[in-house]
Amino acid sequence: MLPLVLEEVRFVAGGRVIIDSLSMEIDAGPRTVILGPNGAGKSVLMRLCHGLLTPTAGRITWRGTRNGRRPRQQAMVFQRPVMLRRSALANVTYGLELAGVSRRERELRAQDVIEAVGLSHVAGKPARVLSGGEQQKLALARAWALGPEVLFLDEPTANLDPGATRDLETIVGQIHASGTKIVMTTHNLGQARRLGDEILFIDGGRLVERAPVDRFFADPATAEAAAFIRGELPWT
Amino acid sequence: MDGISAAFGEAARLVAAADPALVAIVALSLKVSVAAVAAAALIGLPLGAIVGITRFPGRHFVVVTLNALMGLPPVVVGLVVYLLLSRAGPLGPLGLLFTPAAMVAAQTVLVTPILAALSRQVLEDAWHEHGEQLRSLGAGTGDSVLTLLWDTRFALVTIVLAGFGRAAAEVGAVMIVGGNIDGVTRVMTTAIALETSKGDLPLALGLGIILVTLVLAINAAAQLIRTAALRRYG
Amino acid sequence: MDLRRRIAAATFALAALALSPYALAQKFITVASTTSTEQSGLFKHLLPVFEKKSGIQVRVVAVGTGQALDLARRGDADVVFVHARSAEEKFLSEGHGVKRLPVMYNDFVLIGPKSDPAKIAGSKDILDALKKIRDRGAPFVSRGDRSGTHIAELDLWKAAGIDIAKDKGPWYRDTGQGMGPALNTASSMGAYLLADRGTWLAFRNRGDLAILVEGDKRLFNQYGVMLVNPEKHASVKRAEGQAFVDWLVSPEGQKTIADYKINGEQLFYPNANQPGA
């Protein structure tokens, strides 16, 4: 279904331009990290790509599908995990049920991913009483179970402690290794380095710079990116 | 005149005697109000959910209307249902006037907007929290309605009980469409009205105490369940 | 685990609950009658006797005479059993009733506070008493609800030569309530009012009220019964309704009425055989 192509995409909300004539192409393969200062439009861009928001102008096309429309084989994990009032396992099977997976198959797949993210011991517990880190792992498991071609992650570790962040990064690595394209936003430069293959640097709703991760950090091509790296580094 | 203490004495005496006529009245009250609230839940909760999680032109007007209808005067509802069910009315051939079914119908009309308006608020909040995630997972409106109705079930129980309280406590509607017929459509509230008319204030108040106690007990039980469930499910 | 199945189960349970109080299919008739007959306790005494004999359940909807006749006009009752002759005759002339039969009478009494500001206690002349109440401006509670008692009260004011619509001042309280609530009102404000004796005898919250005027012939209160016209209202249960009407005026029905007593006092006097009553 990839590549995903954005052409002159604009998004305006409440009279404010959030994404401004942005064009880019996201290809299969490398882990793509969207970087940028707060308010740059990262999360909105992610939601536009995932199809939760509709662009005010411009076109978003999935080139790899027959009609270019939004395919189902994609998933998204949000900054704050949102769990239904049912068991951890049932939260995973719920996504599979919506995807039309048969009952027996859902149970098996859910067990597998829950084990893979290390939550087997709490699979039967109500999801909403799990810790923040466990809930975010569960959110990853829910997404992973769907076997998506693309997984969008919006600041997935922003609310987590270092230990949980490390676990999560490992899981994201495993998901990528299983053949899923990763697109993620972060404002944590260390994480961008650890998890990214390529960087999309966004500022003021525009794509300012796109580069492989090493070159981006070593030798940013634009003054904005350079300033951003300088400004953020001390807190990494 | 220590009317209040006399009333409590009367209430205690009524309960102790377990008079079959009283038991029948209490049973009918519960049956009618439970049935009405069940019917209202079938209509009102999905309606509230749909209005809560969808956006459509005129939605604001619908929300305002639902909120306003929460204050429907029971007498007006009773009158409208009476005119519908009367032999001379459009539903006259059903022969439902002055039966418990007519009382259920009137209370359903009374309670449905309450359930719809209150569940609308709950579902709107739930949609605010879950909406993006559900859409991301590919849930359509129908899926979302069912999912969130189930997910907010503990909050909805409280709402349904509020509706039950309203149904069990109203007298204006059931008096008109039920006719307060002895042994057929006499419920607690109409019995209270009748005893008040007869000037037997202690008996009337005694019945009132029983009614309030019942509603209180049901609410307390539900509240306990809800608290326990929330602790368990978060 | 399946959400749909759970929701379906919940829906089914709710639907079952909603449908549980269905109307019982039993032989019954609906009688539109007045609060005075209901609240005096007469029906509780009368109906079991008839139901046992006939197997027909009698469901009494007790409202004011005016409303009772209106119910019947809409076809919502099979029999009307009320006490306002002029209104009943109008009902008949409109073709809603088959035939009016006199059943029984009781009487109205003028109730008032024992302090009796209008000084009418013990009088046998109701018209004179009303005039004194008006002249004195003593508080008077009127039903004001088009009931039989209200109509009787209006007729008495008229007979006393008082145009109450024009003459009423702040002393005349038009409450728009049933007999019981009107008695409660009068009891709490120490007012005069006209009540039927049956409701008065069964009434418990008397406070300072007592009977001040009684026994005047003009206070007699005649009850009549009519089958609602099946030609006009197809839903009327002609046979069962007629059975009830016939029983009320039969010797057995008349005797049952005469037998009803509160504290040894007879409330209603059967007079089905009295022509023109």
Question: Which chain A residue's Cα is nearest to B144?
Answer: A98
Which residue from B minimizes the CA distance to C182? B197
Does B198 or B128 have the greater pLDDT score? B128
Q: Is the pLDDT reported for residue A235 higher than 60?
A: no
Q: How close is the nearest chain B Cα to the Cα of C201, in Å?
A: 10
Q: Give A62's strand partners.
A: A4
Distance from CA of A125 to the nearest CA of C (A): 14
For C113-144, how does the pLDDT look when each residue is reduced to its tens digit (9 = 90+)? 999 999 999 999 999 999 999 999 999 999 98
Structure tokens at C44: 């509780």
Instruction: Inspect the interface and report whether the beta carbons of A98 and B132 lie closer than 8 Å.
Output: no
Amino acid at A94: Y
Number of helices followed by number of strands (H, E) in chain B: 10, 0
Least confident segment among B9-13, B37-41, B87-91, C263-267: B9-13
- Residue A24 is inside which H or E element, if any? strand A16-26
Q: Using one digit for the tens of pLDDT, what is the confidence trace for A118-163?
A: 999 999 999 999 999 999 999 999 999 999 999 999 999 998 999 9
Here the tokens at position A231 are 């400004």
Split at pLDDT 50, 70, 90, the class of B97 is very high
Residue B69: closest CA among B113, B105, B106: B113
| pLDDT-derived band at A236, boundaries 50, 70, 90 | very low
Q: How much of chain A exceeds pLDDT 90, in percent?
A: 84
Between chains, do B136 and A127 touch, taking CB under 8 Å as contact? no
Mean pLDDT of C192-196: 94
Residue C23 forms contact with B (CB below 8 Å)? yes
pLDDT bin (cut points 50, 70, 90) of residue C204 is confident
Q: B146, C4: Cβ pair inside 8 Å? A: yes
Q: Write the pLDDT tens digit of every residue in B187-197.
A: 999 999 988 88
Q: Higher pLDDT residue, B207 or C4?
A: B207
pLDDT in tens, B141-151: 999 999 999 99
pLDDT at A123: 96
A163: CB partners within 8 A, 6+ apart: A133
CATH code at position B124: 1.10.3720.10
Instruction: Note whether A95 and A145 are within 8 A (CB).
Output: yes
- Give the pLDDT confidence score for residue C25 in this predicted structure: 54
- State whether residue C188 sits within 8 Å of chain B by CB: no
B184 to chain C: which residues are within 8 Å by CB? 28, 57, 59
Which residue among B35, B99, B199 places its CB closest to the CB of C205?
B199
For the cut 70, the answer to whether the pLDDT of residue C42 exceeds it is: yes
**What was the pLDDT predicted at B11?**
82
- C59 and B184 in contact by Cβ < 8 A? yes
User: Using the beta-carbon criterion (under 8 Å), do C3 and A97 form an inter-chain contact?
Assistant: yes
User: What's the average model confidence in pLDDT over A6-32?
Assistant: 94
Nearest by CB to A52, from B136, B232, B233: name it.
B136
Please give the backbone phi and psi of residue C142, each rounded to the nearest 5 degrees, phi first. Answer: -110, 145
Share of chain C above pLDDT 70, in %: 97
Going from the C-alpha of B41 to that of each of B38, B110, B153, C89, the distances in angstroms are: 5, 12, 12, 48
CA-based nearest residue in chain C for residue A107: C1
What is the count of residue pairs from A and B with beta carbons less than 8 Å apart?
A: 47
CB pairs under 8 A between A and C: 6
pLDDT tops 90 at residue B218: no
| Local confidence band at B114 (pLDDT 50, 70, 90 cut-offs) | very high
Query: How would you class A192 by CB atoms within 10 Å of its CB: exposed for 0-12, middle for 13-18, buried for 19 or more?
Result: buried
Please state the rounded mean pLDDT for residues B128-152: 95
- The pLDDT assigned to A129 comes to 93
> Of all residues in chain B, what percent carry a pLDDT higher than 70?
99
Q: Which residues neighbour B165 within 8 Å (Cβ) at sequence distance 6 or greater? A: B215, B219
Residue C24 has a pLDDT of 54
* pLDDT for res C2: 66
The answer to whether B133 and A82 have CB atoms below 8 angstroms apart is: yes
C8 touches chain B (CB under 8 A): no
Give the helix ranges, DSSP H, for chain A: 42-50, 88-98, 103-116, 132-145, 162-177, 189-195, 213-218, 223-232
Q: Whole-number mean pLDDT of chain B?
A: 91
Interface predicted TM-score (ipTM) of this complex, two decimals: 0.92
Compute chain A's Rg from CA coordinates: 18
- Nearest by CB to residue B146, choosing from C7, C44, C180, is C7
Contact A82 B234 (CB under 8 A): no
The CATH T-level fold of domain C28-106+223-270 is D-Maltodextrin-Binding Protein; domain 2 (3.40.190)
State the total domains in chain B.
1
Q: Residue C3: its chain A contacts at CB < 8 A?
A: 94, 97
By the 8 A CB rule, do A149 and A180 touch?
yes
- Looking at chain C, the domain(s) classified CATH 3.40.190.10 span 28-106+223-270, 107-219
Give the pLDDT band of residue C18 (cuts 50, 70, 90): confident
Read off the pLDDT of residues B64-84 as tens digits, 9 standing for 90 and up: 999 999 999 999 999 999 999
Between residues B20 and A167, the one the model is more confident about: A167
Q: Which fold has domain A4-79+149-235?
A: Rossmann fold (3.40.50)
Residues C130, C136: Cα–Cα separation, whole Å: 10
Nearest to A50 among B136, B147, B234 (CB): B136
Per-residue pLDDT at C71 exceeds 80:
yes
pLDDT at A234: 47
pLDDT in tens, C230-262: 999 999 999 999 999 999 999 999 999 999 998
Determine the Cα–Cα distance for residues C174 and C196; give it in Å rounded to an integer.
17
Test A94 with C2 for CB contact under 8 angstroms. Answer: no
Q: Which of residues 162-201 of A touch B (CB under 8 A)?
A: none
- Is any Cβ of chain C less than 8 angstroms from the Cβ of B150? yes
Query: Contact, B41 vs C14, CB < 8 A?
Result: yes
* SS3 state at C37: helix
Task: Kindly list the domain boundaries of chain A, sorted by start residue.
Answer: 4-79+149-235
Using the predicted structure, report yes or no on whether residue B227 has a pLDDT greater than 60: yes
Chain A residues inside the 8 Å CB shell of B133:
78, 82
Q: Using DSSP bridges, classify how beta strands C79-82 and C28-34 pair: parallel, antiparallel or unpaired.
A: parallel
Q: What is the dihedral of CA B100, B102, B103, B104, to 10 degrees?
A: 90
pTM for the whole structure: 0.86
* Nearest CB neighbour to B234, from listed A75, A128, A142: A128
Give dist(CA B108, CA B105) in Å, integer: 5
Distance between CA atoms of residues B38 and B44, nearest Å: 10
User: What pLDDT was estimated at residue C1?
Assistant: 44
Question: C22: pLDDT confidence band, cut at 50, 70 and 90?
Answer: low
Q: Which CATH superfamily is domain C107-219 in?
A: Periplasmic binding protein-like II (3.40.190.10)
Pick B3 or A225 by higher pLDDT: A225
Reference B106, options B122, B121, B91; nearest CA is: B91
Residues B143, C115: Cα–Cα separation, whole Å: 74
Average pLDDT for residues A169-193, to the nearest whole number? 94
The 8-class DSSP code of residue A53 comes to S
